[in-house]
Structure 1
Amino acid sequence: MKLTGRSVIGSVRRLVATAQNGLEVIRFGGLAHDVVASPYEVTERKRMYRLRHYFPDNAPDADRPVALLVPPLMVSADIYDVNAEGGAVGILNRAGIDCWVLDFGSPATEEGGWQRDLADHVVALNSAIDTVNELTGRGVHLMGYSQGGMFAYQTAAYRYGKGVDSIVTFGSPVDIVAGLPFGLPQGLVTEVADFVADHVLTRLPITDSMVRLGFQMLDPVKTAKSRLDFLRQLHDREALLPKERQRRFLEHDGWVGYSGPAAADLLKQFVAHNRMMVGGFVIRDRPVSLAELECPILAFVGEVDDIGQPAAVRGIVRAAPNAEVYEASVLAGHFGLVAGSTATNRTWPLVRDWVHWLGGRGELPEAIAPMTEHVEVNPQRSAATRVVHTVGTLAEAGAGLGSALGSIANSTLRGSVELTGEAARALPRLTRLGMIQPHTRISLGRLLTEQARRAPLKDLFLFDDRVHTNEAVAARIDNVVRGLIASGVRPAARVGVLMETRPSALAAVAALSRLGAVAVLLAPGSEIARAVELTGVNTIIADPENLRDAATVGRVLVLGGGDARGLTIPPGADVIDLEQIDPAQVALPGWYRPDPGLARELAFVLVTGTGAKLELKYITNHRWALSAFGTATAADLDRRDTVYCLAPLHHSSGLLVSLGGAVAGGSRIALARSLDPARFVEEVHRYGVTVVTYTWTMLRDILDADTFPNGHPHPIRLFIGSGMPAGLWRRTVERFAPARVLEFYASIEGDVVLANVAGTKLGCKGRPVPGTARVELIAYDSATGRIRTDAQGFARRTADNEVGLLIGKASEAVDISQGGLRGVFAPGDAWMPTENLFRRDSDGDYWLMDRRDTVIQTPRGPVYTQPIVDALNDISAVDMEVAFGYPAAPGRTLAVAGVSVRAGHRLEPKDVTEALRSLDPVRRPDLVYLVDEIPRSSTYRPSTRAIQATFALKSGPTVWRHDPATETYEPLSDAVLATLTD
């Protein structure tokens, strides 16, 4: 090629300009430019933040909408003014919007900056909102980029939306699990996030250089390209100057450090446990949920954003079911959403129009539309968009091959972890169960001690909108132990606990366990005097509400309600106020050893039933541990779960399933004061409840109240409990889809625990939980109460679908002198019979048929009550039902079903006929009796005795008789009535 003089001169000039500009960049970090920042004044200075007010010289205008912009922790607050005239504050100011920016500063330069946690920033933003509200007299449009948007959501929910007109976020993830990088499985990410939060971030500060490098590594191709473009244009100063401020921001000035505690909070609460999505994240000991949000929300979605991925950002529509949520989709990456030409030309003009629309000064732009949870994305279009956005650095074929290989690898990894994750969690529990021997030290108190030692700051339980950590609970339990010792309570003593559901009740039960005493759990309002007489209790721990009842039967130790609660002590009562005992002044005796309970030793006594049916259930430490670890295993409970305990602690479901399962699984426990449907819906969201425990018909009240309309988003994945009728089960899974029901059966007499883990057979009790007792069904004559034997005198095992007595293999920890059996299948073997009759289907699943003492003995043979109850409950019009025997004449007992009807429904004889066709004709009830209401016990079990006591055999339209000839139910006539009573 022939060089001309002009080209040589041009090359020299280009070389000189490159050298001059390069030297300036080396010396000063960039090119000198005349772009100045937008004017602002610092209106408020506090330890956590500075509040900037932009364009403070503007004339005051009471009608101006107000925007408060929040940066993420790792990015300077200047992000909203990087492009000056084309930046956020410049565009919004020209649109007549009053702009305020929260500046958290850098932890490297702020006092105590490296110790800041996530709650510090939420509380700081909360304070700034109050300030702006007060100074402007208006609500704010709260706007946040990336984690700043997460702060906006969290703070608005924390203050229940007060003073917030709307929320606008940019690339702010909510459903973190939906946007995990590289398709990583949640279980793996949870483990890694927890480890990093607990063991890395507590020791290693994240400096600004580390932050900058991290962001650049997220998109190394784009970083390299931008630097190459800069070098190529280094000779052309005029071309570089308009972008110089943004380049310097990204290369050097825009990044700030990230305090370890705040990063740990982010990982634990929002990555490992995804609590932005499910609710129950904790701010200053308060559980918070995005379900509190009711103001309009606009979320900007970056189509090629790899940090705030679209699926994660769109999680807000489910997390905030009470808010109107809109979205605007922008072809931009994470940074490009708020800075750069795309933000100047699209993002901030849309924000301007959003604010004007809410103020009634314009139309909603077409680019802003209601958000939908599922957005169909064409993979080919998405891939092509990403290729174009990265300036075609990779060939389309290569990218497609890499994507395919990555998809295969991701699917394999995800599948492997999902298949092994549950087993990995279950294995240590089952191993521990298998290692428990009669002399093994195991108890509720011991498991709580282990948790407090392992994770002292982890949340343990929630109650009345307060969160209590392992450390705080352990301290409370130890203080109660000292109070009990000072009051003369010793190991092995039986001490009554008569308390409503409250933190002090849990502390009392755990303190007795830690002391080695036996907790006798008494239900408020029950037959306390009779229970005390049967159990030998002479001391009762009571809360102030139950003090008077407890004082009538013995010495009372009052716990709960704080110091200044004005106790009213009955005259002559022997009462000690444990809250007035100073634990520090109690000297521990030489005999005290914390958590001394052995597996074989008695831990709890449950009092069930009333009157002649009042029974005592004795639970050893081994039996409690069996149920605790069995529940945790069957329900796959882990530290991501929050278990909501609807059942009171004095009920076996509350003590063994809720408390036991949560403690064994390392889950949080949320205690409900009572069954209140309105409070239920609030606390499910606020606490982030994933598992709900129930007894019998508890969920009927919640369904009838319609607090969760069909399709209403919720975080619940599982209901666990026992006694739920089949129809109520069906209603529950339909209303709370995709949540499942895990129905348990657990015998108090032995170690038998069944669980319907799959949840596909409604009404079925499932199969034995691994690690619990081996079970068998043996032939049983319900009329005589005798076991049927074979020719050698051993018990005969039942065939498939044959009704038999359920028995469990007795472990060394079980005392078979309390009704056990020996020589059942072999000489000397030991088994514990349950009180219940079952059948086992051909798949190996067990179905409850009846209690031994409630089988109805009719002239045609035994009639079992549970199949009748389940069949009738599956009628949509039926509310509740019971079945019992009625002696109509000497030697003639009729099988009767009492049925109440749901409000707004009508039940016809033909409905009953169709529902009961599934039963063998000889197992159907003779009569179906309509009643206005079926009373329930304190545990929500329909009261058979109450209906049986009021039943009178008479003809009429409310009593329907089964006609064996037509196999239908018809109103009972006088003529047929006469034949029944002969």
Structure 2
Amino acid sequence: MRLKDRLARELRFIRKIARTLPRVKSVSPDSANLVCDDLQAAMDKWSDRPAMTFEGRTVTYAELDGIANRYAHWATGLNLRRGQTVALFMPNRLEYFCIWYGLSKVGVVTALINNQLTGAGLAHCLNISGASHCIVDPETSGAFEEIKDTLETQVQQWMLGEAHNEQRDLVQALKSCSHLPPDRSVREGMTARDTCLYIFTSGTTGLPKAARVTHMRAQFYMLGFAGSTGARETDRIYVTLPLYHATGGLCALGAALLNGGAVVLKKKFSATQFWPDIVAEGCTMFVYIGELCRYLVNHPVTEAETQHKLRLAFGNGLRPDVWPVLTSRFRIPDILEFYGSTEGNVSMFNFDGKVGSIGRIPSYLRRRLGFKLVQFDVENEVPVRGPDGFCITCGSGQIGECIGRISNDPRTEFTGYLDKAASEKKILRDVFDKGDAWFRTGDLMLQDAEGYYYFIDRIGDTFRWKGENVSTNEVSARLQEALGVLEANVYGVEVPGADGRAGMAALVTDEAFDLEAFNAHVGRELAPYAQPLFLRMMPAMETTGTFKQRKVELVAEGFDPAAIKTPLYFKDPEKGYVKLTKTVFTKVVSGGYRL
């Protein structure tokens, strides 16, 4: 790259950093200014402006704040004290943000539970959250009803809709609650170190873990994206990602609401409705995960897809093969790709628009940000240590695990999970010096000679499908509860044209196994993204010398009936599990099924 071009690139980078850093530098862990205070200031400043549109209804900032205040007073009316938890188990809807924002005003923690969870996974999340109350709506109340008797403690169900049986009517309860802000004295003594939210993440193994999101961490998310996106009062941000995730629920909402812009919220993503919505609502930005973008480029061409007013798309996981198609076909002027995790202390932005990269850290910022790539033993899934016992940093072009230094600096702390043992597993100690501690991202990356980072893969028994991390151990456990299943070995396989890896399960069964009953069990016990797309029937399961199930060979063999002699099945979207014949295989790999 010529010196002139390099200088121009650095100038653009510095300008974008300059609009981001001042906002996040104002955040202090010991400050009494909480994320709800940042939001309250925005509500007061832009009170008459439209704040959010959902299913044809638009509310102003003042109205949005009024809804939130009712939830704050509802919580105090129940004598919920600061630090106590309310579980929020609903799909996207207008009230979603208002609930956790309102509860944060009185110091109550909100556990944002994935609305696709069912069965043991749902019960686990409710149990570890410690919530005594759970807010549901007609779409999620059924799943709650099925597991309520298995919970460790009694959890009162509040229905945002028509209440039945033991449910309490939240709509009616809110009518007697004030729309005015609660007195700030109710959270006197709280600082930004206190917990605001629990956001659940699959992690690398086991059941979902509750990541502790402090007010400070929520501020980093919301203020960071309010700056990095360059959002303005005139912007309208299209949000079709679930609000229980940080990307949609904090990053996107922060970009809009802390700048006086508007959120156009959808219940769920629809490739068919995406561009008509963008055009009709006059949206100027949208937030994505990689798979959403792949759905868009795989969708037939429509007239609306180039009639928009978009100036930016921002998100994470955008694949290198999808990126140029997204920008050229849909004429999107700018892409802001970023990297980060709910609980982690490593984040970066691709301010340069380098296709395929998750970001670049110039040499003058590397020491301050404190993360490195270390050489990694893929077979044993541990970082490589040298003769001196310390880890070895990667050179240019070398793949390694990304780790982030843990310190007292609020930008690099690791607040961890509710489960202390799970938190400890994410910490790597004595890395470069005796006594130091680093957060393990669980992600393999490489850095090129220009300083750009590229995501390679996740470490361990987790694969990504439909924008969600799927724990193979957890899915195996649920499958082995099905009648007739003796052993289950779950892994991810690549499907041509699909983002991430689709779930596949190798099963050892007995005469009690019934395919229809198994399909019903899968639908009942697992979220849609965790349900195996392919089944492989095995006479026996191959294991290692230490009795660990072998996966490498199974992953390599995939799901091709021409190469596998034992029975294979495919989960047809309409029919359930059907025989995976050569005809079905051809239809799957050619994109004939909507996966």
Instruction: Report the CA distance between 1:481 and its aligned residue.
Output: 1.0
Alignment of 1:632 with 2:226, yes or no, is yes
Instruction: Report the CA distance between 1:850 and its aligned residue.
Output: 1.9
CA separation of 1:593/1:846 partners in 2, compared to 1, >3 Å: closer, same or farther? same
Decide which of 296, 320, 325 is 1:726's aligned counterpart.
320
Match in the other structure for 2:395: 799
TM-score normalised by structure 2 residue count: 0.69
CA separation of 1:845/1:898 partners in 2, compared to 1, >3 Å: closer, same or farther? farther
Alignment of 1:599 with 2:258, yes or no, is no
Instruction: Report the CA distance between 1:584 and its aligned residue.
Output: 4.1
**What letter matches 1:648 in structure 2?**
P
Alignment of 1:853 with 2:460, yes or no, is yes
Instruction: Report the CA distance between 1:640 and its aligned residue.
Output: 3.0
Alignment of 1:504 with 2:95, yes or no, is yes
3-state SS of paired residue (1:896) = helix
Match in the other structure for 1:447: 38
More off after superposition, 614-623 vs 507-516? 614-623
Decide which of 341, 360, 379 is 1:767's aligned counterpart.
360
What is the distance in 1 between the residues matched to 2:44 and 2:156? 34
3-state SS of paired residue (1:724) = coil
Match in the other structure for 2:520: none
Instruction: Report the CA distance between 1:683 and its aligned residue.
Output: 2.3
Q: Is the 8 A contact 1:879 1:899 kept in 2?
A: no
Match in the other structure for 2:593: none
CA separation of 1:878/1:548 partners in 2, compared to 1, >3 Å: closer, same or farther? closer
Instruction: Report the CA distance between 1:824 and its aligned residue.
Output: 2.4
Instruction: Report the CA distance between 1:777 and its aligned residue.
Output: 0.7
Q: Is the 8 A contact 2:16 2:228 kept in 1?
A: no
* Aligned positions of 1:871-882 closer than 5 A: 878-880=497-499, 882=501
Q: Is the 8 A contact 1:753 1:768 kept in 2?
A: no
* Aligned positions of 1:91-130 closer than 5 A: none
Decide which of 304, 329, 336 is 1:742's aligned counterpart.
336
Q: Is the 8 A contact 1:696 1:724 kept in 2?
A: yes
TM-score normalised by structure 1 residue count: 0.44
* Aligned positions of 1:52-67 closer than 5 A: none
Q: Is the 8 A contact 1:460 1:467 kept in 2?
A: yes
3-state SS of paired residue (1:836) = strand
* Aligned positions of 1:134-145 closer than 5 A: none
Higher Cα radius of gyration: 1
CA separation of 1:752/1:663 partners in 2, compared to 1, >3 Å: closer, same or farther? farther
Instruction: Report the CA distance between 1:598 and its aligned residue.
Output: 2.7
**What letter matches 1:800 in structure 2?**
S
* Aligned positions of 1:586-735 closer than 5 A: 592-593=186-187, 598-609=191-202, 612-706=206-300, 708-709=302-303, 712-735=306-329
Instruction: Report the CA distance between 1:702 and its aligned residue.
Output: 3.8
Q: Is the 8 A contact 2:82 2:108 kept in 1?
A: yes
Please list every run of 5 or more consecutive structure 2 residues that lacks an aligned counterpart in the other structure. Answer: 1-8, 149-154, 464-492, 507-539, 545-549, 587-595
What is the distance in 2 between the residues matched to 1:425 and 1:850? 28
* Aligned positions of 1:227-376 closer than 5 A: none
CA separation of 1:431/1:545 partners in 2, compared to 1, >3 Å: closer, same or farther? same
Alignment of 1:830 with 2:423, yes or no, is no
* Aligned positions of 1:783-794 closer than 5 A: 783-794=379-390
**What letter matches 2:158 in structure 1?**
L
* Aligned positions of 1:404-415 closer than 5 A: none
Match in the other structure for 1:779: 375
Match in the other structure for 1:468: 59
Percent identity over paired residues: 20
3-state SS of paired residue (2:140) = helix
CA separation of 1:955/1:755 partners in 2, compared to 1, >3 Å: closer, same or farther? same
Alignment of 1:568 with 2:163, yes or no, is yes
Instruction: Report the CA distance between 1:511 and its aligned residue.
Output: 0.8
Q: Is the 8 A contact 1:745 1:753 kept in 2?
A: yes
Instruction: Report the CA distance between 1:685 and its aligned residue.
Output: 1.8
What is the distance in 2 between the residues matched to 1:955 and 1:677? 29
Instruction: Report the CA distance between 1:799 and its aligned residue.
Output: 1.0
What is the distance in 1 between the residues matched to 2:22 and 2:336? 23
3-state SS of paired residue (2:321) = helix
CA separation of 1:586/1:721 partners in 2, compared to 1, >3 Å: closer, same or farther? closer
Instruction: Report the CA distance between 1:422 and its aligned residue.
Output: 9.1
3-state SS of paired residue (1:647) = coil
What is the distance in 1 between the residues matched to 2:247 and 2:319? 16
* Aligned positions of 1:378-393 closer than 5 A: none
Alignment of 1:492 with 2:83, yes or no, is yes
Please list every run of 5 or more consecutive structure 1 residues that lacks an aligned counterpart in the other structure. Answer: 1-417, 562-566, 857-870, 902-908, 910-925, 937-946, 960-982
CA separation of 1:855/1:609 partners in 2, compared to 1, >3 Å: closer, same or farther? closer
CA separation of 1:756/1:590 partners in 2, compared to 1, >3 Å: closer, same or farther? closer
Q: Is the 8 A contact 2:222 2:258 kept in 1?
A: yes
What is the distance in 2 between the residues matched to 1:790 and 1:950? 51
3-state SS of paired residue (2:210) = strand
CA separation of 1:458/1:790 partners in 2, compared to 1, >3 Å: closer, same or farther? same
RMSD over aligned Cα, in angstroms? 4.4
CA separation of 1:442/1:666 partners in 2, compared to 1, >3 Å: closer, same or farther? farther
CA separation of 1:782/1:879 partners in 2, compared to 1, >3 Å: closer, same or farther? closer
Instruction: Report the CA distance between 1:644 and its aligned residue.
Output: 0.9
Match in the other structure for 2:519: none
Instruction: Report the CA distance between 1:586 and its aligned residue.
Output: 10
What is the distance in 1 between the residues matched to 2:571 and 2:359? 28
What is the distance in 1 between the residues matched to 2:226 and 2:571? 34
Q: Is the 8 A contact 2:238 2:283 kept in 1?
A: yes
Decide which of 751, 758, 770 is 2:345's aligned counterpart.
751
CA separation of 1:955/1:454 partners in 2, compared to 1, >3 Å: closer, same or farther? closer
3-state SS of paired residue (2:322) = helix
CA deviations 1:417-451 (Å, max 9, x no partner) are x9999967853641242343321235432221011
CA separation of 1:434/1:485 partners in 2, compared to 1, >3 Å: closer, same or farther? same
What is the distance in 2 between the residues matched to 1:501 and 1:658? 14
What is the distance in 1 between the residues matched to 2:584 and 2:275? 39
Q: Is the 8 A contact 2:194 2:215 kept in 1?
A: yes
Considering fraction of residues, name the structure with more helix.
1
Q: Is the 8 A contact 1:646 1:672 kept in 2?
A: yes
Decide which of 21, 40, 43 is 1:430's aligned counterpart.
21
Instruction: Report the CA distance between 1:879 and its aligned residue.
Output: 4.3
CA separation of 1:446/1:543 partners in 2, compared to 1, >3 Å: closer, same or farther? farther
CA deviations 1:623-663 (Å, max 9, x no partner) are 22222233333332232322111101112321232123333
Match in the other structure for 2:110: 519
CA separation of 1:574/1:469 partners in 2, compared to 1, >3 Å: closer, same or farther? closer
Q: Is the 8 A contact 1:481 1:514 kept in 2?
A: yes
CA separation of 1:424/1:724 partners in 2, compared to 1, >3 Å: closer, same or farther? closer
Q: Is the 8 A contact 2:159 2:168 kept in 1?
A: no
Match in the other structure for 2:158: 557
Instruction: Report the CA distance between 1:671 and its aligned residue.
Output: 0.6
**What letter matches 1:476 in structure 2?**
I
CA separation of 1:847/1:504 partners in 2, compared to 1, >3 Å: closer, same or farther? same
Q: Is the 8 A contact 2:275 2:304 kept in 1?
A: no
Instruction: Report the CA distance between 1:470 and its aligned residue.
Output: 1.8
**What letter matches 1:658 in structure 2?**
A
